[in-house]
Amino acid sequence: MELLKEAIRKRGSVLSSGVLKVDQFLNHQVDTNLMSAIGEEFARLFADEQVTKVVTIESSGIAPSFMCAHSLQVPLIFARKKKSVTMDKENVYSSRVYSFTKKEYSEVTVSKDWLCAGDRVLIIDDFLANGQAATGLTQIVEEAGAAVAGIGIVIEKSFQDGRALLEGKGYRIESLARISSLEGNKVQFVEESAQFAYNKS
């Protein structure tokens, strides 16, 4: 998705060979026009999957997930990282997930009221790195007896093993921007790396 790649190039900051900061448009300040385009693109990619619910983890996944759910005209559910006092702790699905950027585990929960057997669930997240967040959400969806219709990722760090982990379990992954390297404080996209390798050959 060229609009997203351009935002990453111009407004993203490489903090290290493993960390890309995109809080100017995605996960702190939100570019609503860009999120609308992202949501529409996910809706287009998964249009044939009979999606009945969109699921994400709070909070960075909410903006693109909301726009996708709006485009698909289905409800959005976000897994909570902290249980609300209004949430019955006996009436939840939960999974323990590790955050690459925060270097900590979270117990994420979804009320059993909102996921049902027979649902076809599209999982959306802002980043794919080691695949732990998406794996945690697939566990919740499947515990509910629902089916994972696919996994949509805004930005994938293709130099980490998240995609291999999820595809190895049979899930369909659609990433709007795939980054092959952050070495030398420069964002290199997968398509650019492939083109460079082709030109060298």
Q: Could you report the per-residue pLDDT of 52-70, keeping only the tens digit for each? A: 999 999 888 999 999 999 9
Positions at the binding site: 20, 27, 129-133, 157
| Residues listed for the chain | 201
Please compute the mean of the pLDDT values over residues 137-151 and round it to a whole number: 97
Please compute the mean of the pLDDT values over residues 85-113 and round it to a whole number: 83
Would you kindly state where each structural domain of the chain is located, as residue ranges?
2-200
For residue 103, what pLDDT is reported? 75
- Of 17-21, 29-33, 81-85, 146-150, the poorest mean pLDDT is in 81-85
Long-range contacts of 135-138 (CB under 8 A, 24+ apart): 135/97, 135/165, 135/166, 135/169, 136/57, 136/79, 136/95, 136/96, 136/97, 136/108, 137/55, 137/56, 137/57, 137/79, 137/95, 137/108, 138/166, 138/169, 138/171
Kindly report the pTM of this predicted structure: 0.92
Positions at the binding site for 5-phospho-alpha-D-ribose 1-diphosphate: 129-133
Please compute the mean of the pLDDT values over residues 154-165 and round it to a whole number: 97
Please compute the mean of the pLDDT values over residues 129-147 and round it to a whole number: 96
Answer whether 180's CB lies under 8 Å from 188's CB.
Answer: yes
Task: State the chain's mean pLDDT as an integer.
Answer: 92
For residue 86, what pLDDT is reported? 60
Give the bridge partners for 47, in sequence order: none
Positions at the binding site for xanthine: 20, 27, 157
93 CB-near residues (< 8 Å, 6+ apart): 109, 110, 111, 112, 115, 140, 143, 144
Architecture per CATH, domain 2-200, reads as 3-Layer(aba) Sandwich (3.40)
